Amino acid sequence: MPEGDTIFRAARSLHKVLAGHVVTRFQTAYAHIERVNVDTPIVGRTIDKCESAGKHLLIRFSGDLILRTHMRMNGSWHIYRPGERWQRPRHEMRIVLATATYVAVAFAVPVAEFVDATVIEREGPVAELGPDVLSTTFDAAEAVARLQDRGDFEIADALLDQRALAGIGNVFKSEILFAARVSPFTPVHLLDAGALDRIVAIAQRQLRANVGEADTVAAAGGRRTTNRLDPSARLFVYGRRGLPCRRCGTPIQRAKQGPDARSTYWCERCQPRVL
């Protein structure tokens, strides 16, 4: 599932092949996107930059225009050479952005809009984001303060709140808290500043370790938190309900948590609940 690491890699790959090039073809399945294209054509604009902001992917065009997309669960961006066969069905196409040398296709992307570059950081979902764990300007102290502001949240739910930290999703939520030896059900107000500092540092370390240098725009997995080369041992707890904890052998637990009933995985022995 796309989390901050996936979006960061996708933006990096798109930037590598698209930045500095002129758009030669633009197509979309979304009427509201096409309306902007009709009023202010995308063809002929230069692609200035492709970047991530938490789980949002931003493509910046000349003329202060930004295409913002959010993958949700199943969306992805692919890169092809002109005429190359697509790897996903054509009916899943949502946006086609082509230059003379490459074609970028957004498949099954449920959220897409054009945004004025002069307002994107003042209003809207990007402006509301907390510190981006993968940003070069990530402010750990600000991230801790934002978590503390969510004192009544269980820590797992606080980590998923993109207004606290941007980029953490369901997989990393469980993996971070296992590494920190903190129960996902602990209310934030029961965690001192030192514990929150450690959680934030682990979050930054895990996500940064998963962006590497490899170019990929797939939304598929492959992320690792265990530092093991064995493909079957990539993660500590996520997706491992009933299997033995890699630290102590206790069976890993799973429960639905939070208002969206997201799956949480943890080890009862390594992450004891606070009573």
Look at residue 1 in the predicted model and tell me its pLDDT. Answer: 64
151-175 pLDDT, tens digit each: 999 999 999 999 999 999 999 999 9
Is residue 259 situated within a structural domain? yes
Full domain range(s) for residue 217? 140-266
Look at residue 216 in the predicted model and tell me its pLDDT. Answer: 39
Q: Which of 63, 155, 186 is nearest to 118 (CA)?
A: 63
Average pLDDT of 86-96?
97
Task: Tell me how far apart the alpha carbons of residues 217 and 59 are, in angstroms, rounded to a whole number.
Answer: 14
Is residue 211 situated within a structural domain? yes
**Phi first, then psi: what are they for 213, rounded to 5°?**
-125, -5
Instruction: Kindly state whether residues 146 and 256 are assigned to the same domain.
Output: yes
Look at residue 230 in the predicted model and tell me its pLDDT. Answer: 81
Residues 6+ apart with CB under 8 A from 161: 130, 150, 153
The identity of residue 148, as a single letter, is: Q
Q: Are 159 and 133 in contact (CB under 8 A)?
A: no
Task: Tell me how far apart the alpha carbons of residues 197 and 201 are, in angstroms, rounded to a whole number.
Answer: 6
Strands 25-28 and 93-98: antiparallel
241-256 pLDDT, tens digit each: 999 999 999 999 999 9
Q: Which residues are known to be catalytic?
A: 2-3, 55, 262
106-115 pLDDT, tens digit each: 999 999 999 9
Is residue 9 situated within a structural domain? yes
Whichever domain contains 26, its CATH number is 3.20.190.10
Which range among 190-194, 211-215, 229-233, 236-240 shows the weakest confidence by mean pLDDT? 211-215
Residue 214 has pLDDT above 90, yes or no: no
Instruction: Kindly state whether residues 30 and 107 are assigned to the same domain.
Output: yes
Is residue 242 situated within a structural domain? yes
